């Protein structure tokens, strides 16, 4: 595996980390791979480590190349649309280097969690360049959620159109930080635009459960609270592999 860290235009702390799997003559189907761009959550005040490299590694294990974006965060710096500019630059860099990084530039998904879900949804619905699929975990979508974020945000539902790529959405009805009305509103906007989507609202699960594995959960209590929600990843892989015609 090859990893590199690239600095993006908006500042020295805005980075794209690559996780590129090796190719092998023994695996001819994997000379060019699909890819996932990961946008961690953190309220636009930070980028959560729990929703960064562990998520990238999970997709690597499924044969995807992965990229983690550390976008603009903090008061002032995270003012919209600066994080969107970071995501656009990251996606452009991946497509520009698709040959070098053995990436199928037509099979790139973006995944975002919480505030990172807002950013992923913005890239999918508003981006100058757009991914081929979008995966949203307990996403912030509506401007009303700006009360819990470091900067105000636009409602992404206002921008969903026929060019928005297919979406996979997951969340928990127990989430008291980001209400599921955000996920439901995005799904409704996708439906109105006739954009294909799949959505799973789990009954149990805390906000920020990420992969809901021992790697990202701090204790057994958190593991137990999120044990049903962890199913999202296998469901997502079935959906994404089908969308990208893999397997």
Say which DSSP state 43 is in: T
Count of the separate structural domains present in the chain: 1
Closest CA to 203 of 171, 173, 179: 173
State both tokens at 206. 């805390």
pLDDT tens digits along 120-154: 999 999 999 999 999 999 999 999 998 889 999 99
Sign of the alpha-carbon torsion through 205, 18, 99, 97: positive
pLDDT tens digits along 189-209: 999 999 999 999 999 878 878
Mean predicted confidence (pLDDT) in 109-128: 98
pLDDT of residue 27: 75
The rounded mean pLDDT for the chain is: 94
Give the pTM. Answer: 0.96
Write 241-244 long-range contacts (CB < 8 A, 24+): 241/62, 243/133, 243/166, 244/34, 244/107, 244/132, 244/133
pLDDT of residue 31: 83
Q: CATH number of the domain that 112 lies in?
A: 3.40.50.1820
Can you give the residue range of the structural domain that contains 205? 2-243
Residue 220 has pLDDT above 80, yes or no: no
Mean predicted confidence (pLDDT) in 233-245: 97
pLDDT of residue 141: 98
pLDDT tens digits along 154-194: 999 999 999 999 999 999 999 898 999 999 999 999 999 99
């Amino acid at each position: 595996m090859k990893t590199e860290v690239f600095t993006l235009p908006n500042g020295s702390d805005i980075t794209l980390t690559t996780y590129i799997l090796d190719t092998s003559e023994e695996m001819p189907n994997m000379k060019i791979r699909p890819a996932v761009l990961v946008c961690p959550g953190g309220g636009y005040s930070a980028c959560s480590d729990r929703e960064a490299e562990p998520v990238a590694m999970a997709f690597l294990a499924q044969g995807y190349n992965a990229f983690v974006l550390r976008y603009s965060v903090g008061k002032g710096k995270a003012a919209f649309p600066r994080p969107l500019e970071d995501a656009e630059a990251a996606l452009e860099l991946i497509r520009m280097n698709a040959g070098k990084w053995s990436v199928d530039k037509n099979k790139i998904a973006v995944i975002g969690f919480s505030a990172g879900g807002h950013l992923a949804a913005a890239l999918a619905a508003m981006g100058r360049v757009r991914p081929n699929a979008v995966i949203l975990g307990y996403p912030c979508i509506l401007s009303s959620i700006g009360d819990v974020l470091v900067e105000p945000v636009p409602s992404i539902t206002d921008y969903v159109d026929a060019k928005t790529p297919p979406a996979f959405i997951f969340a928990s009805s127990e989430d008291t930080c980001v209400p599921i009305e955000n996920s439901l509103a995005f799904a409704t906007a996708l439906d109105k635009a006739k954009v294909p989507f799949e959505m799973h609202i789990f009954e149990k699960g805390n906000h920020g459960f990420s992969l809901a594995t021992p790697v990202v959960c701090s204790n057994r209590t958190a593991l137990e609270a999120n044990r049903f929600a962890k199913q999202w990843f296998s469901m997502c892989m079935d959906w994404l592999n089908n969308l990208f015609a893999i397997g």
